[in-house]
Structure 1
Amino acid sequence: MRLLRLLSRPGFHLFLTGALMVLGFVLAHRLSERSGRDQLSALSTERLELYASNLAAELGRQASLPSLLAIDPTLQALMLAPGDAGRQRSASQTLARVNVRAGTSQIFVADLQGQVLTASEPLTPPARLPEVLAQGRSHFFAADPVTGSTDFYLLHPLRGSGPAGGVIVVRFNLAPLEATWVDLGLRSQNERILVADDQDVVIMSSVQPWKYAVLGHADPSRRAALQASARYPQAIGADLALPAALEAHRGRLVRLPLPGDVAEGRPMLAQQRQLVPLGLRLVALSDLTEVRQRAQLAAWGGAAFGASVGLLVLYLSSRRRALRQLTQAQTALRQAHAQLEQLVDSRTAELRHTNDALKTQIAQRLQTEGELLQASKLAVLGQMSAGLSHEVNQPLTALRALARNSIRLLETGRADAVAANLQIMDDMVERMSQITRQLKNFARKADEQVTGSVPLLDSVRNALLLLEHRSRPLGVQTDVDVPADLRVRAEANRLEQVLVNLFGNAMDAMADETERRLSVHVTVQDGRALVQVQDSGAGVGEADLHHLFEPFFTTKPAGEGLGLGLVISAKIVHEFGGTLRARPLPRGMSFEFDLAVAPWESPDV
């Protein structure tokens, strides 16, 4: 009975569903990954044999050339008199012709001490040639000291008269074959090839950063010995974490770094094939990323299957339990109906109270937005106060000087000069009156419900006048292209606040630039006036462009902005029936908004 109660509990079915999901995930992942690795290993084995055959064929293509040259009469004559200049020249011409026809890199004849007797072209023999001659080897690998590519050398002895003798050496470069591997590696990102010599140093690779790297770990003494062996360039590459013993038909999981990968490297399946006659190891590295992705997809499929089985069991159990509870629910429903009627009455009263509170909050919010708008205007006025005080202080100083000068001129009876001074004083007073009048209008709290016909050019000029104390020291060049008779649907005070914010931001952006140009262009089309405010500043980065109209976001240094100017400007433009947008330019930014064009007969508000 206890077991039946346990089986009927929803928690047990959820646990069973989770267990089946985890089991399906693990089994599907392991089976898929094992199958993918086996398939990848078989495919890599076939390609490894193909690469080995290709390398052996390339190295053996010229294997018979040294022995054929050894019986050439010209070379045999040279060995009878190695020091004869005529025979050396004749032998050099013969070697040059053979070199061109055979497609090799170089062919030369050297004595048993490694000194070149004659060659198809002037050359410097490889540094390890005397060592190879002393060992009696028939071939060896060496790095080209100029290009760093791998060269393969074939040797065949030449017999002369007496104990003297020599060796004929044929050199051909493996760079074309390696370039084919590199191209294959670029086109197929799932497989890489490398060839290591008997010192476990990579001499050929489809991944160039692996060139001349050491397989396994090389301590400083071994690196010094490798660099001193004259077999490789002076710079031995970094260690590659590749084990010395690898199986040809069953790969081993390794992690090797690739260009642009993370530090721990990419998981790969490593397989190798020994080229015993050449003393080389050919290693194929297959990328397991795709195998693991397929295994992960299969794992999620197995998890989905396990979850489906668990959910099916849960559904059947829940359905039986639901039928049993249906009768109980009908009885409880009748009881709940009576309680619901009482609850509806109480909820209705609560909603009525909440609705009244919400209306109060909306009114407070509208009041707060108005206060925030006025505070923003006062903040702009505060930022302009220092410059404007300087604008007013200069005329006052000049008025004082002109007044004193006029007193002296009156004493001397120079009425014409006094009249000129009075005219200048009148112009200065008019200038100060214009600035203070515009400041008073700008600081006035606007009625947000009033929208009338506003001359757009006057609003632009008033905004530029308020910021003239900033634009003049910066040397800002203004370009205003606004039709003189254009009137738009807006409220003059708030429209000027939008323009002051946009012009002020433009001047901040151009403060550190050598060229400071502020342009205001207006285009009228289909009853709408598109206003474009453009600057030649540094612009805004792509990451910040999407946050410009978010509250309290600013690109200015700390203490120089609250991040509310564009937010308030966008709100004002929206209330005028337009939209404020930001668009990056090749040099600078463009802020644009559109307003409805008002008929010329409409009264100015």
Structure 2
Amino acid sequence: MSATRSRARNALIVAALTLFIAMVVGVYHLLFERLLHDLRDTEHNALELITSSLRGEIKRFEILGSVLATNRELLQFLRAEPTAESAVHINRKLEEINRSTGALDTYLLDTTGKTIAASNWRKPINFVGENFAYRPYYQLAINGQAGNFFAIGTTSKERGFYVATPVRHGHQPVGVVVIKIRVEHLERLWKEQNRALSLVDANGVIFISTQTNWRLKTLQPLDDQALSSIRETRQYLDAGTLKLLDYTRRDILSPTDTIVEMGSGAGERAVYLQLASAMEEANWTLLLHTRINDVQRIALLGTLAISFGIAGAVIIALAIVYRLRKAKRRLENEQRYRNTLESAIAERTRDLQQTNQELLQTQRKLLQSGRLAAIGRFSAGLSHEISQPLTALHSYISNTQQLISLGRYADAEEKLYNIEHLADRIALIIRQLKIFVRGDELITSPVSVRSAVAEAHTIMQDRIDKADASVEIRFPKGDVHINGDDILLQQLFVNLIANALDATADIETPTVLIGVDAQDEQVTLEVSDNGTGVSESDLPNIFDPFFSTKTMGRGLGLGLTIAQEIVSRFGGEMSASNNASGGARFRVLIPEYRRTTP
């Protein structure tokens, strides 16, 4: 019986270990596939950008070739009998174009494939006189097609892209202009991105690569047809020098994605994710190789972490079984503590609720007190906005009574007219104040600033006389107009003059200066006084509703607020400051009204 139990236990352990190992292997493959998928997405995005950049570089020189092919001087040089003077001129022209574009070489071929002008004509080894009829780019271009080709120069022995464009007279090619593009700077730029990039031709020859030991090697054995084509076009000078790269395909993930193993040339081999981007326009393929060692390492570390986590979970489970009783006692103690804590929290919550109710009651009392204080201030100074015309009205009524008693009825009739005018004004002021309260839309029209100042001065004349104040008005030549409302503009000046008179009430010789100016389609209105000015602490609040430095009963603290609101409705700005010589200054900027001529 004991032996049977032992065998069963051993079988269970073996089954558990087998299941654990299978799980570990499965986790590793899942992590590896996930990480590899993310790597493929990232590298595909990078490869698309690099491919677009390469196409753009080639397209730039194709456009340049098309422009050169339509050059009148090149066409005339091809059609006429070349002279030493014309040859030097064209050579210099190609030399300058080559220098400005950054190309490796730029040269011109005739219908036989002979080079008749070249940018490298000054060099000891140059293309002038060389015949490149064997090059595929020439054969395509002389037949009316654009020709792109990669090769090692038979004269310069330098690698390069060749972009060939036919030069036509009418529809007939009479020559070919060729631009040879440097490839070293592409390798340098790619290498700076820390990426292994290679450009492969249709025969599988790597002709550009950031990996020096991969250049001019093949990914597959070359058949006789490929070797014959390379020899005929002299693409790589000696086809026999092209060696097979140590390269093995391990896993094909998709038509463009492959896992490959490659040798470094020093006996080391590495596994790469190979992504391919086809460039059909030139029958090339751009390859991006990314080592997957990091992916394998991260997948392995992740698998180990999960494995250790599972092993730890098993150990923890065993520990939990052992500590169940101890945990139960601890939970009972915690429950007692929790009950005590909940009772304390409930009691504290009741205290907080009671305190909150008391605060709400206090807040309501404070709000009520604030409302009463605001109503008190409003009641104490309700006549602020109409006190000036009412004072003038009272004066006119008294004068009218005296004139009637003296029998001066004509003068009394004039005073009655003034009384009617002031009564209308009070009604209009009330109407405008109702506009502020209701927020009605303001109907504007061109308003004379000069007339508004004169009306405001007339309204305030009685107060000015009683204050024994001097009012100086400065106007530019002619009149100034703004787009606004005449009553509101008069009220603006009335409020500012009244404010200046209040500020100079304790001054021996009170003076109020009203200035008007118009420049650059902007009207500037200034009202300043020689009073005590505004303290720096009050300046930020000077336009606030109900803000006043006056004693109770001498205004609502709304005069400057209404003035600022009027300016705002006119589309202007208002500011307050102190004069250097003393006193306050209020400046208003309002757009000038200009009559447009049809």
Q: In which range does the TM-score fall when normalised by the shorter chain? A: 0.3 to 0.5
Normalising by structure 1, we get a TM-score of 0.46
| Higher RCO (CA < 8 A, seq sep 6+) | 1
- Larger Rg over CA atoms: 2
Q: What's the TM-score, normalizing by structure 2?
A: 0.46
